């Protein structure tokens, strides 16, 4: 296996954003007269994009879906306002992420972001964190007609980067990341420190505990 490009999930993989997501989610709940949720509860609802997060947070139910009801529309509007106003109040890189991204970029390896987070949050977040220019392709949850676990974002990214899918490493923290990689035929790695649980059951090619362990997958 020769890795010629790397694609990364964002929340739970590159950055720990749960404090800001939970703050915005609970602020939206408060605006609608609802009591706050524990941060761990909000964390369990993350991974399928903002609409799913808002639906789950408002209902306090993992099975809730965004159906466009008046309450959900109000919740989405308030969540958008609160989250966009404080994307990086407490959001920070996980250990070794910033240095590793810089080193990979310096090596000339094509790098991509593939996240289910909407573009309206993804692009300004990357700019505020100072790593926007490191990425050759940025695919958010609403960039294409389909998002992870669909293979489409990975297929599109590989085409844009000019590499074969089997030579692009997908790095994430959740089931959606692994399913997308498997659906696309990409090698894949899970980080152990993110928002996913029961990692061993997800069937990733490998699990790493520190971000700089990625260098072990690259040929010197």
CB of 123 closer than 8 Å to CB of 132: yes
Rounded-to-integer distance, Cα 170 and Cα 147, Å: 14
Of the chain, the end-to-end C-alpha distance in Å amounts to 13
Instruction: Take residue 40 and report the two structure tokens written for it.
Output: 């761990």
The helix/strand count (H/E) of the chain reads as: 8, 8
9 labelled catalytic = yes
Query: 20, 87 in Cβ contact below 8 A?
Result: yes
* Catalytic-labelled residue, pool 9, 11, 16, 177: 9
Q: Is 151 helix (H, G, I), strand (E, B) or coil?
A: coil
d(CA 183, CA 28): 35
User: Which of the residues are catalytic?
Assistant: 9
């Amino acid at each position: 296996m020769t890795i010629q490009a790397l694609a990364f999930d964002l929340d739970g993989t590159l950055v720990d954003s749960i404090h800001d997501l939970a703050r915005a989610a609970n602020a939206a709940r408060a605006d609608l007269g609802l009591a706050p949720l524990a941060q761990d509860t909000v964390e369990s609802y993350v991974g399928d994009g903002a609409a799913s997060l808002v639906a789950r947070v408002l209902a306090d139910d993992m099975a809730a879906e965004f159906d466009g009801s008046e309450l959900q529309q109000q919740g989405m509007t308030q969540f958008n306002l609160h989250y966009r106003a404080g994307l990086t109040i407490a959001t920070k890189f996980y250990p070794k992420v910033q240095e590793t991204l810089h080193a990979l970029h310096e090596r000339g390896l094509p790098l991509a972001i593939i996240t289910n987070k909407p573009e309206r949050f993804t692009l300004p977040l990357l700019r505020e964190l100072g790593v926007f220019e490191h990425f050759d392709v940025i695919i958010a949850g609403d960039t294409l007609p389909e998002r992870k676990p669909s293979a489409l974002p990975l297929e599109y990214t590989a085409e844009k980067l000019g590499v074969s899918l089997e030579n692009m490493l997908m790095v994430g923290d959740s089931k959606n990341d692994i399913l997308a990689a498997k659906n696309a035929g990409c090698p894949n790695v899970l980080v152990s420190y993110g928002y996913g649980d029961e990692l061993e059951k997800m069937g990733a090619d490998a699990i790493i505990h520190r971000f700089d362990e990625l260098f072990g997958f690259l040929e010197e």
